[in-house]
Chains A and B, each alone.
Chain A
Amino acid sequence: MANLITVNGVTHRYDKHKVLEDVSFTIEKGSFVGLVGPNGSGKTTIIKLILGLEKLQKGSIEAFGKPIEKFHNKGHVSFVSQKANSFSRGFPATAKEVVSMGLTSKVSLLRPTTKKYEYLIFEALDRVNMMEYANHNIGDLSGGQQQRIFIARAIVNNPSLLILDEPTVGVDTENVEQFYQLLSQLNEELGITLILVSHDIGTITTHVTDLLCLNKSVHYHGNPSDFEHMTDEQRSKIYGHDMHTITHDH
């Protein structure tokens, strides 16, 4: 099974408004896919379809060889949402407690050793470099730190596929590089397949193994370096009308 996800001919509407049209692509095991496209291009929508948060209308999606309607997630797929920072700030939970939520599908009715879970939680916190904040209230952390905690929560269950929807929003430019390094580590050392949603084409192309440009339909899917070598004109044709390569001037 080389393809973790197979999307085939997916069309999606909200009311009458068509957001996705005949979208097909595959996500190969072990890859690090950058999913890019301008605002409103349907990135979050296709992610929600893959995660089963939105109901499939037309076409088919297979996850781990099973049609998405029959796929029951037992920790294979994990997710960091675009809205991760919109939880209520006053929520009385520690960083450690937030990470523990990632283990829900593992924890069975008869709860065995909590020791083992503690270990997994600290391991995940260590990976994202947030060990010393374990007992801090989640609302007291900075946006970037919270994002790291949400990544720890997403990887604590050792998923095969991790989907991140614009996780770099709220992370300052210096930390973005560090952040990509963390993702590359997850991909290379732990073998986690990654889908990273972003509209920051400039940074993303240097880190991913596959680039997927979506704007209602798939405009490009392939090697990021081929994409890099195109002229701006060719690129904007592929990317759609309002594409900007975000350049960081620092």
Chain B
Amino acid sequence: MLDAILNFEILRNTFYTGLIVGLLAPLLGTFIVVRRLSLIADGLSHVTLAGISFGLFMQKKYTLLALTPFHTGIIFSIIGAIVIENLRGVYKAFQEIAIPITLSIGVGLSVVFIAMADGINTDIYAYLFGSVAAVSRSDLYLVLFTAVFVIVVITFLYKELFALSFDEEFATVSGIRAKIIHYLFIIMTALVIAASIRIVGVLLVSALMTLPVATAMRIAKSFKQTIVYSIIFGEVAVIIGLITGYYLEIPPGGTIVITSAILLGLTLLIKKWYLAYIYKG
């Protein structure tokens, strides 16, 4: 594939995008998992699918060229993020209900738009399961912009995000502007999900945000370590998954997630052996 990456721009774009989301998804995923909101990624990815289907429909009926399905996906994802955050405020006592609400609305809208755009086609297939050949140069620039935005925000607001994830009440009392930061965070999540969908597809985005984190949490001692290990596991899965997906002609969503799952299984096993060894010695 390395040859091919050098020679074909579109593969190169995919590979770079993969490396970027391999970092961003587990990075945000760590905060999401520790807040016990793992399913938020699923809710948002299905809202993004609605946006993508809407874009496909518009493209087909009105040849609306300025906005690609990727763009409409991002827009829907951000709107969905704001709706989820508001719903979490309304249902304070059981915030997770925000997720099935947005998820089902997302799927409902997708079904309608897909039907209006004359049914399932190869484009939709690529959006559902990911593709090694879907990233245009302008898409790559958008993903790069997202990466810069997310990394800058996390660097400057790391303490605030960490404190809010651990104990919202204490964070609020110490003067952190919880509301603004929550909105900022969920909008970043929406952007990263939209970017990740190009690589792993709608159905498997949440796996890329949670599996590496689940693996990291088994071996990390601190929160910072959890983030670093999550990113390492995420990148390894993306690189192995993209290359095998390319050679086996399987959508990379499948190969990346299977690789993640194997990494998780291996980590659990090795930790078990290690602990057994410690108790014996």
| Residues in chain A within 8 A of chain B (CB atoms) | 51-53, 72-75, 77-79, 81, 83-84, 87-88, 90-94, 96-98, 100-105, 107, 109, 135, 137, 153, 157
Other CB < 8 Å A-B pairs besides A72-B175, A94-B222, 6 of them? A84-B167, A92-B217, A93-B162, A98-B166, A101-B159, A104-B159
CB-contact partner of A93 in B156, B176, B222, under 8 A: B222
- Contact A91/B175 with A103-B159, A104-B159 known, Cβ cut-off 8 Å: no
Contact B170 A101 (CB under 8 A): yes
Which A residues are in CB contact (< 8 Å) with B107?
none
- Contact A101/B173 with A88-B36, A135-B221 known, Cβ cut-off 8 Å: no
Chain A residue with minimal CB distance to B30? A92
Chain B residue with minimal CB distance to A109? B156
- Contact A91/B166 with A102-B174, A104-B174, A105-B174 known, Cβ cut-off 8 Å: yes
Mind listing 11 A-B residue pairs with CB under 8 Å?
A52-B172, A53-B172, A74-B175, A81-B167, A91-B34, A92-B217, A94-B221, A98-B166, A104-B160, A104-B176, A105-B175
How many Å lie between the Cα of A139 and that of B156 in the bound state?
27
CB-contact partner of B221 in A74, A84, A137, under 8 A: A137
Which B residues are in CB contact (< 8 Å) with A105?
174-176
Chain B stretch 190-238: residues in CB contact (< 8 A) with chain A = 216-217, 220-226
B169 interface residue per 8 A CB criterion: yes
Contact A92 B223 (CB under 8 A): yes
Which A residues are in CB contact (< 8 Å) with B222?
92-94, 96-97, 135
Expressed in whole angstroms, the minimum distance between the Cβ of A181 and any Cβ of chain B is 24
Contact B160 A90 (CB under 8 A): no
- Residue-by-residue, is B229-261 near A (CB-CB < 8 Å gives 1, otherwise 0)? 000000000000000000000000000000000
Which B residues are in CB contact (< 8 Å) with A135?
221-222
**Chain B interface size range:** 20 to 34
Q: How many A-B residue pairs have CB under 8 A?
A: 82
B163 interface residue per 8 A CB criterion: yes
B171 interface residue per 8 A CB criterion: yes
Chain A residue with minimal CB distance to B157? A109
How many Å lie between the Cα of A78 and that of B223 in the bound state?
23
Which B residues are in CB contact (< 8 Å) with A52?
172-173
Which B residues are in CB contact (< 8 Å) with A153?
170
Chain A residue with minimal CB distance to B169? A81
Among A81, A96, A101, max chain B CB count under 10 A is at A101
- Contact A93/B170 with A103-B159, A109-B156 known, Cβ cut-off 8 Å: no
Which A residues are in CB contact (< 8 Å) with B34?
88, 91-92
- Contact A101/B217 with A72-B175, A92-B223 known, Cβ cut-off 8 Å: no
Which B residues are in CB contact (< 8 Å) with A81?
167, 169-170
Chain B stretch 120-170: residues in CB contact (< 8 A) with chain A = 156, 159-160, 162-163, 166-167, 169-170
Chain A residue with minimal CB distance to B223? A93
How many Å lie between the Cα of A83 and that of B166 in the bound state?
12
Chain B residue with minimal CB distance to A92? B226
Chain B residue with minimal CB distance to A98? B166
CB-contact partner of A75 in B170, B174, B224, under 8 A: B174
Contact B36 A104 (CB under 8 A): no
How many Å lie between the Cα of A94 and that of B179 in the bound state?
26
How many Å lie between the Cα of A161 and that of B226 in the bound state?
34
Which 7 interchain pairs have the tightest Cβ spacing? Answer: A101-B163, A92-B226, A73-B175, A105-B175, A93-B223, A94-B222, A79-B173
Which B residues are in CB contact (< 8 Å) with A91?
34, 166, 223
How many Å lie between the Cα of A242 and that of B145 in the bound state?
62
Expressed in whole angstroms, the minimum distance between the Cβ of A237 and any Cβ of chain B is 35
Expressed in whole angstroms, the minimum distance between the Cβ of B176 and any Cβ of chain A is 6
Contact A90 B217 (CB under 8 A): yes
How many Å lie between the Cα of A87 and that of B222 in the bound state?
16
